[in-house]
Structures are given as structure tokens and as C-alpha cells.
Amino acid sequence: MLTLLLLAALPAVSDVEPPAAALTAPSSVRMALPVTLRFDDSLTDHVTPLVKKTTGAIEAQSRDPLWALARFAPGVARRHFEQAAWGPKGERSVVVKSVSVVWTDGPSYEARVVVDRYEGERRLGQATGSGYAMADRSKARLGAAWAGPFAPAVNLEVGKAKPEEDGAVIRQATVAALDSALLQLAQAWAGEQLVAQARADAEALLKKNQPARAPKR
């Protein structure tokens, strides 16, 4: 099973199908075996800073990135793995290491989700996925056209990150980033599993075709 272990400070988990608008990348043609998915122990704060890309300054914060992961991660994972559910660490685990969001004027949001893959306690690799979404400010910009000499200042304000208005957009970018990261891990795992199965089939065929030994006298 694909499993997520939640810490007390993180949002409550559920299993809801992710928004279709966020799933623009292809799903996996070959599903990887079931895994367990959980949050890394370092993720203890449910608030994610929104960093302005041009300055590096934190000008806002949002609960939506981790909320989206806690709500939609199983549905996203089932695009790439045979099964996905929240639960304890298992034989094969995907650990959500971090989530971050940067923004540019518009505003346009870029979410990045970093995930590790484990087999038992052995860490095998890491993937970083990116997702993008842009808030629609067309009506606000139309109004700014009537602001006369104040129009540049109004347009500048309109283009800023506003997490209270852009929650759905931030969630969309986060889900897309997770989808990208899980696709990378699933491809790696599926390739390894295919090779292992081919090796096992070859060994079984070789064993089957070996001549029987004559009994000792």
C-alpha cells in the first residue's frame, strides 16, 4: 500500500481525487508496485512561505501546499503506482521531503516538491517535481485601466501574490509538482522491477530446462 504518516502539525489526511487541471502530465504506462508514502519528520509546519523569485523575500505564506498534498496525494500516486493509501512506512516508501513555492508578478506560482524513495530503511534516490499555475487577474487589470495616473501602482498591486485569493491556483501548482516527482520515481522503480522480473523468469526457465540428474548407485 502507498502510505502517508501525518505529524500533528500537518493537515488531516483524506483521499480525494485531485483537480483535473493540475494533471497535465501523462500518467505512467507501466505501473510500479505498491509503495508507502509519508511526510518526512522535518515537515512540522503546515504553513509554506511564498518567496518572490526576483528578490528572495518572503512576502506571504500559505497553508494550501501541504493541505493539497494531504488531501490529493493518494489520488496522484495512483496514476503511477498500483495502489496508494495513507498509512505507516512499508516495504517500499515514498517520503515527501519538502515543498516550496516561489512567485513572480502576475502572479505566477511555481511549486516544487521533493520526494525520496526507500526500500525498507535504504534510501535509493530522490526526485524533484515542479508545477506551475497563474492567477487570473483580468478583471482587476481592467479596473486598473480606469485608475488614471495611479494605474501603474494599481497594476503592481494587482500582480502580487495573494494566498487568500489564490488558494486554488497554489494547490494546482503543488499537485502538478507532486505528480511530476512521483512520475520520476515510478519510472525508476518500474524499470528496476521489470529487470528483476526478467531475471527471475530467465532463472526459472534455465532451471526448468536443466536435465535431471541420474540417481546415485
Q: Is the pLDDT of residue 77 over 90?
A: yes
Distance CA 37, CA 51 (A): 27
pLDDT, average across residues 94-109: 94
pLDDT at 49: 96
**Secondary structure (H, E, C), the chain:** CCCCCCCCCCCCCCCCCCCHHHCCCCCCCCCECCCEEEECCCCCCCCEEEEECCCCCEEEEECHHHHHHHHHHHHHHCCCECCCCECCCCCEEEEEEEEEEEEECCCEEEEEEEEEEEECCEEEEEEEEEEEEECCCHHHHHHHCCCHHHHHHHHHHHCCCCCCCCHHHHHHHHHHHHHHHHHHHHHHHHHHHHHHHHHHHHHHHHHHHCCCCCCCC
pLDDT at 205: 65
The number of beta carbons lying within 10 Å of the beta carbon of residue 45 is 13
Residue 37 main-chain phi, psi, to 5 deg? -125, 135
Confidence of residue 24 (pLDDT cuts 50, 70, 90): confident
* Mean pLDDT, rounded, of the chain: 83
Higher pLDDT, 131 or 92: 131
Q: Is the pLDDT of residue 10 over 60?
A: yes
pLDDT, average across residues 177-204: 78
Task: Measure CA of the first residue to CA of the last residue in the chain; give whole Å.
Answer: 52
Q: State pLDDT tens for residues 139-180.
A: 766 655 555 665 565 566 767 899 999 999 999 999 999 999
The domain ranges of the chain are: 20-209
- Neighbour-count burial of 83, counting CB atoms closer than 10 A to its CB (0-12 exposed, 13-18 middle, 19+ buried): middle
Q: Is the pLDDT of residue 70 over 90?
A: yes
For domain 20-209, the CATH architecture is: 3-Layer(aba) Sandwich (3.40)
Pull the grid cell for residue 16: 480525494
What is the percent of the chain where pLDDT is above 90? Answer: 45
The number of beta carbons lying within 10 Å of the beta carbon of residue 150 is 11
CA-based torsion, 60, 66, 72, 73: positive or negative: positive
Q: pTM here?
A: 0.81
Which of the listed ranges 106-120, 129-143, 145-159, 199-213 does the model predict with the highest average pLDDT? 106-120
